Amino acid sequence: METNGIGDGSAGAVQAPDLRTDVAHSARIYDYMLGGKDNFAADRAAADAIARHLPTLPISMRANRDFMLRMTRYLVGDLGIRQFLDIGTGLPTSPNLHEVAQELAPETRVVYVDNDPIVLAHARALLTSSAEGCTAYIDADLRDTGAILGSTVLRETLDLGRPVALTLIAILQFFVDEDEALTVVRSLIEPLAPGSVLALSVVPTADEASPLADGVNAYRSQGIPMKMRTRAEIERFFEGLELVDPGVVKVTEWHPDEPADPDDPAPHMCGGVAVKR
């Protein structure tokens, strides 16, 4: 792994991407649904097929993105977090997490982790940091927690002796093995200092006859495994941590900027934030 300094306060790992444009990828589907341009015909075809079963999918994706932005502002402004480990970051869609965090606290340091070749190709754009802070990128799979935690890039960017926010936004639904998902999350939380935070969002369980269930099946038909989780299963990720009010809720209900319109479609994402004491 080559480590490169890119601009003031930046570090990262950049390799030549092994790009498959003929196979749909969840990060590029997400990009397409948000109106991005970093996707291919296979991603657009898959997204359109999924949306036929779940027309409100773009609304849920936007709501999830807004949750990430509010969560970041809360962690920086209310909890004083100055370090982030964002895994499954996806394609850059401004404002990115580090932009929001560094607008409030320029000294904030962020490590992004993803293993999608298109995200890797955009690493240099992601690695633009404030002069006071730092952003870095690690090319790694979430399942390989040892590679993430043992990365030189991570150790040079974050101080694990101080609080770190671990953010897993809209990625755990792609883990269908519950024990594996729990082990991954706990392995990442364990070495973090007291005062650290876990923030995540996932797809909640729905009735088998609901459009959400159809949408999940549509993802699976595109070769993308996905699992819905009950509230109890989501809360298990936070065991041993102190949940921040209002707990695990729909992403639109987590510290909303304004009351939700009851006529708006409900987002098919739940999220929560908890602190390690």
pLDDT of residue 8: 36
DSSP assigned state of 162: S
**pLDDT digit string (tens) for 188-214?**
999 999 999 999 999 999 766 678 888
The residues near 141 (Cβ < 8 Å, ≥ 6 apart) are: 115, 147
**pLDDT digit string (tens) for 172-182?**
999 999 999 99
d(CA 144, CA 39): 26
The gap from C-alpha 110 to its chain's centroid, in whole angstroms, comes to: 13
Give the confidence band of 7 by pLDDT, cuts at 50, 70, 90: very low
Choice among 2-6, 118-122, 228-232, 233-237 with the minimum mean pLDDT = 2-6
Question: Distance of CA 104 to CAs 23, 76, 192, Å?
Answer: 39, 7, 23
Highest mean pLDDT among 10-14, 124-128, 180-184: 180-184
pLDDT of residue 77: 98
Nearest alpha carbon to residue 25 among 10, 11, 39: 39
pLDDT of residue 4: 32
The strand pairing partners of 229, in sequence order, are 204
pTM, 2 dp: 0.88
Helix (H) or strand (E) holding 242: strand 242-243
Q: Name the residue with tokens 């934030």.
A: 273
- The mean pLDDT of the chain is 88
Strands 83-87 and 12-13: unpaired
- Token pair of 187, please? 């392995």
Query: Is 7 in a helix, a strand, or coil?
Result: coil
